[in-house]
């Protein structure tokens, strides 16, 4: 991505999305890094096959923070900041405006590590929920019940019903996927995406649509239909503070279904497209075509469609959708790592300078390319390793009649227990397409991140 973060003219573009690291900055040759990526996936698979004989993530326990006295002041603060940034984007100066930083860095990138650490924070802080509560929108129960009721964790009831109830597992809403697709199109393809007025109009329009849907479907609509809340919820499935045992949030509503797969395909596919579209070959082709908007849109849709097809059909009968969450998290953080470290603080500086503070201050920190490259590789490989472990556990849970620790049942007379190798192959054979798929994903992620 050529990130749109103007420091001077509104059309100034800063190419920071991939970070400052390239293949030349890697401490090892790229071919060895690719081999290490494949080895990481295979070793994770073999280790889980030998050591992980029974599903251990099938009974997730979601923990809720107590006390919650801090929640309402923080929600009001986030609402005030959102209203201020939207107004500043619409009527404020078009130069040195923090609107693009707030949308494309603080929310799109910064929300991931915060959610991974603390859980689905956007569910508690979502300004759309806060505004709906203040305006008494969606306080009545919807005319129809949701598809599936959320599993409530034992314990005292939350302080407020509108904003604190656990989200229903219908986060795989296709509406949220459509909202995410519109957002990544705005970020990666749309003309004028650096213009604060364009961003302000988009944010205001999106908020209006969401409030109308809250009025129609009830106060819990954002859990299914607000893409940022679904995005934070999925990243929060990795939170060790929120879920016990760790990683069990990935199995909270397994199997996930096609809607969740589409959401993850857009999330991950848009980042892959962002990497691929930065190559000189693609950029030259798009510019020579004379219709760059059309070709860029087609490319984005094609990549997301290919990822969706691969997620749904390559793993065979196993539903590994939720195991792609750590992969999407790791690749997104690796892809936008430098953007977060450089443009995140710069956006905060632009914000306080609008308030008449810190005049003349600058943020010109450039991270070391070697350090960034190592962190990027670590994030990608770590995400794939966690994805393999989660997929293996879900495969075991999906085959309760023949886990690796038991013999394979065959028709005819009762046989003696099968040898350990046969026991293991019973389930692991079904996971082989998943492992091959994740090796391809690892190679593609590392190659696109470090090669132009």
Give the C-alpha separation, 115 to 117, whole Å.
5
CB 384 within 8 A of CB 442: yes
Count how many domains the chain has. 1
Residue 161, pLDDT score: 32
CB 259 within 8 A of CB 174: yes
165's tokens: 């109830």
Phi, psi of 15, rounded to the nearest 5 degrees: -80, 85
The mean pLDDT of 256-266, rounded to a whole number, is 89
Q: Is the pLDDT of residue 439 over 70?
A: yes
User: Locate tokens 């596919």: which residue?
Assistant: 269
The mean pLDDT of 214-224, rounded to a whole number, is 90
Evaluate whether residue 424 is within a structural domain: no
Task: Supply the Cα-derived Rg of the chain in whole angstroms.
Answer: 23
* Surface-to-core class of residue 230, CB atoms within 10 Å of its CB (0-12 exposed, 13-18 middle, 19+ buried): buried
Evaluate whether residue 16 is within a structural domain: no
Q: Is 3 helix (H, G, I), strand (E, B) or coil?
A: strand
Residue 428, pLDDT score: 64
Confidence at 27, pLDDT banded by 50, 70, 90: low
The pTM score is 0.82
Give the C-alpha separation, 213 to 286, whole Å.
37
Residue 132, pLDDT score: 94
Residue 441, pLDDT score: 78
Reference 445, options 18, 111, 3; nearest CA is 18
Task: Please give the residue range of the domain that contains residue 81.
Answer: 23-141+163-407+429-450
Evaluate whether residue 319 is within a structural domain: yes
Residue 26, pLDDT score: 58
CA 85, 91, 94, 96 dihedral sign is: negative
Residue 316, pLDDT score: 67
More confident of the two residues 238 and 448: 238
DSSP conformation letters of 321-349: GGGGHHHHHHHHHHHTHHHHHHHHHHHHH
Evaluate whether residue 416 is within a structural domain: no
Residue 255, pLDDT score: 72
Angle in degrees, CA 239, 185, 331, rounded to 5: 35
Instruction: Tell me the C-alpha to C-alpha distance, in Å, between residue 151 and each of 59, 214, 227, 297.
Output: 11, 22, 21, 39
Residue 244: enclosing H or E segment and its boundaries? strand 243-244
The mean pLDDT of 263-275, rounded to a whole number, is 91
Q: Is 434 helix (H, G, I), strand (E, B) or coil?
A: helix
Read off the pLDDT of residues 334-380 as tens digits, 9 standing for 90 and up: 989 988 999 999 999 999 988 888 888 888 888 888 888 889 888 98
Evaluate whether residue 354 is within a structural domain: yes
Angle in degrees, CA 245, 246, 247, rounded to 5: 115
Evaluate whether residue 48 is within a structural domain: yes
Evaluate whether residue 98 is within a structural domain: yes
Read off the pLDDT of residues 28-83 as tens digits, 9 standing for 90 and up: 677 777 777 778 878 887 777 777 777 788 788 888 877 788 889 999 999 999 99
Q: Is 14 helix (H, G, I), strand (E, B) or coil?
A: strand
Give the C-alpha separation, 96 to 337, whole Å.
22
The mean pLDDT of 407-427, rounded to a whole number, is 46
DSSP conformation letters of 163-228: HHSPPPSGGG-HHHHHHHHHHHHHHHT-TTTT-HHHHHHHHHHHHHHHHHHHHHH-TTTHHHH-HH
Give the C-alpha separation, 191 to 240, whole Å.
40
Confidence at 116, pLDDT banded by 50, 70, 90: very high
Residue 14, pLDDT score: 40
Residue 154, pLDDT score: 40
> Could you give the dihedral angle defined by the CA atoms of residues 259, 262, 268 and 274, in that order, rounded to the nearest 10 degrees?
-140
The mean pLDDT of 413-438, rounded to a whole number, is 58
Residue 140, pLDDT score: 60
Residue 325, pLDDT score: 93
Evaluate whether residue 152 is within a structural domain: no
Give the C-alpha separation, 427 to 434, whole Å.
12
């Amino acid at each position: 991505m050529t990130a749109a973060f103007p420091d001077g003219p509104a059309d100034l573009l800063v190419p920071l999305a991939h970070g400052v690291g390239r293949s030349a900055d890697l401490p090892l040759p790229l071919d060895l890094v690719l081999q290490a990526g494949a080895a990481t996936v295979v070793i994770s698979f073999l280790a889980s096959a030998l050591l992980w004989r029974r599903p251990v993530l099938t009974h997730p326990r979601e923990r809720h923070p107590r006390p919650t006295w801090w929640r309402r002041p923080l929600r009001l603060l986030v609402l005030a900041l959102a209203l201020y940034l939207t107004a500043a984007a619409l009527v404020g100066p078009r130069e040195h405006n923090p609107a693009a930083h707030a949308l494309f860095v603080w929310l799109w990138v910064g929300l991931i590590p915060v959610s991974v650490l603390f859980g689905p924070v956007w569910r508690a802080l979502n300004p759309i929920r806060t505004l709906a509560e203040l305006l008494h929108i969606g306080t009545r129960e919807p005319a129809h019940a949701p598809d599936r009721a959320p599993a409530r964790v034992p314990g005292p009831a939350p302080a407020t019903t509108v904003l604190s109830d656990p989200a229903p597992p219908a986060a795989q809403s296709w509406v949220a996927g459509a909202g995410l697709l519109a957002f990544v199109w705005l970020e990666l393809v749309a003309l004028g995406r650096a213009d604060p007025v364009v961003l302000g109009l988009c944010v205001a329009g999106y908020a209006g649509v969401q409030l109308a849907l809250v009025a129609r479907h009830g106060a819990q609509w954002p859990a299914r239909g607000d893409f940022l809340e679904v995005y934070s919820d999925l990243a929060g499935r990795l939170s060790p503070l929120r879920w016990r045992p760790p990683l069990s949030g990935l199995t909270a509503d397994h199997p996930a279904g096609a809607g969740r797969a589409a959401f993850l395909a857009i999330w991950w596919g848009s980042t892959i497209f962002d990497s691929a579209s930065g190559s000189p070959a693609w950029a030259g082709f798009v510019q020579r075509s004379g219709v760059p908007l059309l070709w860029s849109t087609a490319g984005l849709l094609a990549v997301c469609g290919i990822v969706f097809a691969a997620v749904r059909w390559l793993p065979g009968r196993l539903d590994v959708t939720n195991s792609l969450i750590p992969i999407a998290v790791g690749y997104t953080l690796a892809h936008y790592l430098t953007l977060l470290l450089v443009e995140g603080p710069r956006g905060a500086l632009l914000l306080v300078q609008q308030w008449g503070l810190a005049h003349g201050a600058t943020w010109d920190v450039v991270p070391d390319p070697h350090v960034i490259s190592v962190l990027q590789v670590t994030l990608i490989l770590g995400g794939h390793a966690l994805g393999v472990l989660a997929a293996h556990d879900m495969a075991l849970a999906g085959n309760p009649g023949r886990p690796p620790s038991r013999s394979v049942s065959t028709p005819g007379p009762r046989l003696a227990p099968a040898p350990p190798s046969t026991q293991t192959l019973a389930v692991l054979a079904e996971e082989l397409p998943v492992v091959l798929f994740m090796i391809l994903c690892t190679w593609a992620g590392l190659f696109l991140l470090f090669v132009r």
